[in-house]
Amino acid sequence: MFSLRSSWHHQSYWKALALIGILALPLPGSAQDTPEYFRQNCVNCHTIGGGALTGPDLKNLTERQPDREWLIQFMMDPGPILSSGDPYAKKILEASRNVPMPKIANLDRARAENLLKLIEAESALDESQFIGPKISNEPFTDADRHRGQELFLGRQRLENGGTACISCHNMRGIGALGGGRLGPDLTNIFEKYKTRVVLSTWLTAPGTETMLPIYKAHPLRAEEIHSLVAYFESTAAEPPADASVSRMAFLLFGLFGAAALVFGFDVIWKRRFHAVRRPLVESVPARGEV
């Protein structure tokens, strides 16, 4: 009986410890994990006091839009509000160069309220921990432009493992086959963003639907952004690449490659029995020989 009671008390002790451990963990949406959640899901598009990135600067957000319920609903699911024609949502979208805010996974009401409290607390500081990246103002050099082109073409790997620009984008002067077609031609991208500061800021956190998942986990480094912007500036006055040229080059390359492949197989096929035929032919007496 003593051993059974001891065993029961022992099991109860460990169950109690496990329960305490579970209760000690931060609940989803709790204030304790809000800064980390903001860091993982918001800093790619927003700063607090550091200026606009893809999305607006969130400093003093609740002063610009005092309707907290509107902010909470927008944070949880911006799509319906954007499509409703809401004037404030339209203003935000235009300021973000028409890049809509995506719906964030696992963002419930409690977490949205805690995010608003975090934004208010950080806005009150002289300098928020989420002030964002520092943009270089060093003059561009030929070495910067060359390195930017190498990064674009993938000849030099991005340090954080991101995908090279050529995988999705075309650019004038990168060769007959050109680049990818998933994204737009970037020859005149510098003209679109007008200044190096705006373009550099956007590259720190590309917020498009295709780029955000790629570069969220593999952000560009400051020196890589500097070189890419230098390269984009150098092509700003050039016309975009002619897509028909690269398509024709690809077609011709395919045709010549197919012809070479067929010719190669023909040569191999003709020679496949030489090791058998040659000894047989050499062993037959020539005409006139006995």
> CATH top-level class for 142-234?
mainly alpha
Which DSSP category does 271 fall into?
Answer: T
| Of the listed ranges 29-43, 87-101, 148-162, 248-262, the one predicted with least confidence | 248-262
| Of the listed ranges 65-74, 163-172, 246-255, the one predicted with least confidence | 246-255
In whole angstroms, give the CA distance from residue 202 to residue 138: 18
Which DSSP category does 170 fall into?
Answer: -
Three-state secondary-structure class, residue 216: helix
Q: Is the pLDDT of residue 65 over 80?
A: yes
Which is more confidently placed, 99 or 279? 99
Q: Is the pLDDT of residue 11 over 70?
A: no
Q: Name the residue among 127, 106, 101, 102 with its Cα closest to residue 33.
A: 106
Q: Alpha carbon of 175 to those of 94, 142, 181, 245: distances in Å?
A: 36, 20, 15, 10
Element (DSSP H or E) covering residue 220: none
Query: What pLDDT, on a 0 to 100 scale, did the predictor assign at position 127?
Result: 94
Which is more confidently placed, 71 or 181? 71
Query: What pLDDT, on a 0 to 100 scale, did the predictor assign at position 126?
Result: 95
* Tens digit of each residue's pLDDT (9 = 90 or more) over 143-181: 999 999 999 999 999 999 999 999 999 998 887 778 888
| Of the listed ranges 15-19, 35-39, 96-100, 215-219, the one predicted with least confidence | 15-19
Fold classified for 31-123: Cytochrome Bc1 Complex; Chain D, domain 2 (1.10.760)
Q: Is the pLDDT of residue 20 over 70?
A: no
Q: Is the pLDDT of residue 55 over 70?
A: yes
